[in-house]
Structure 1
Amino acid sequence: MNKQIIFNLPVKDLDKSKAFFAALGFTFNQQFSNDQAAFMVVVEDCIQAMLMTEDFFKSFTNKAVAQAREANEVIICLSCESPQEIDSLIARAAAAGARIPHPPEDHGFMYDQGFEDLDGHLWNLVWMAPQA
């Protein structure tokens, strides 16, 4: 079995978060989803996320849950196939309600831009030139 990355994100409104990420083209595996969590497929057989209601997320830890709009613990970085894919995802994220904190950065060998999802989690999209 190949290694996979599955990360858990607390969300305030599971249905709104599912709609937001569906607008970006992510899919959900209903077999591992319920009214407390949704198993989101970011990259088939490689990267998934479990979107969890805050109360359900809290049941897995005795630590306080960071409020991503106020503090940040992680930036989720997703590689893309091209700068155009980044621009397309950013446009869809903005249309679905994301906050876009900065314009795209083009360094020649690398192109990136990010967004904050509905709960304030930071996502960074990056493309690296093959020759870099």
Structure 2
Amino acid sequence: MDRMIIVNLPVRDLGATRRFYTGVGFTVDERYSDDQCLCVVVSPSIYVMAMDRRRFAEFVTTPVVDAHRATQVLNCLSMGSRQETEAFVAAALAHGGFEHAYPVALDGPVGPQGEDMYGAAVTDPDGHVWEVLYMAPA
């Protein structure tokens, strides 16, 4: 069985969320979307369920984190090239996202074996961090 990953995220404004995620090139599966959630298709095996904060709260027993104030998770998405990485960042910024400053540089031989990597990070309108990372083939 091929496994899928579904990232569930609390959001304040589904319209802004839709503009951001479709703006970076993802699609929305309307069959699983309604006025409380948005099913974003990142790839055939990766989905984001963006849920209104009240709906999201129905699935947890702990407080819902405000991603503008605290980081609970760092989502990392692989990219095919430096150019694709830069294009993703540009699209994210143009569609309501924000730059996320790295505490370390990800440009050059930075992997454990000296791999050539290039990365950047953005946040969606709700502050959820999306790292985009290109790793050059060995």
TM-score class, shorter? over 0.9
Q: Residue 132 of structure 2 aligns to which amino acid in structure 1? A: L
In the alignment, which residue of structure 1 is the partner of 2:76?
77
SS in structure 2 opposite 1:107?
strand
Report the TM-score when normalising by structure 2: 0.90
Q: Offset of 1:96 from its aligned partner?
A: 1.1
Per-residue CA deviations over 1:31-65 (Å, capped at 9, x if unaligned) read 1111101111011x211110000000000111100
In the alignment, which residue of structure 2 is the partner of 1:21?
21
1:1-132 residue pairs with structure 2 within 5 A?
1-43=1-43, 45-102=44-101, 105-108=106-109, 109-131=116-138
Query: Residues of 1 paired with 2:97 and 2:34: CA distance?
Result: 24
Q: Residue 6 of structure 2 aligns to which amino acid in structure 1? A: I
Gaps of 5+ in 1: none
Per-residue CA deviations over 1:5-50 (Å, capped at 9, x if unaligned) read 111000000111011111111101111111101111011x211110
Gaps of 5+ in 2: 110-115
Q: Residue 52 of structure 2 aligns to which amino acid in structure 1? A: T
Query: Residues of 1 paired with 2:38 and 2:100: CA distance?
Result: 26
Q: Offset of 1:74 from its aligned partner?
A: 0.4
RMSD of aligned alpha carbons:
1.3
Query: Residues of 2 paired with 1:72 and 1:10: CA distance?
Result: 13
Q: Offset of 1:95 from its aligned partner?
A: 1.0
How many corresponding residue pairs?
A: 130
Report the TM-score when normalising by structure 1: 0.94
Query: Residues of 1 paired with 2:96 and 2:32: CA distance?
Result: 26
Runs of 4+ off more than 4 Å = none
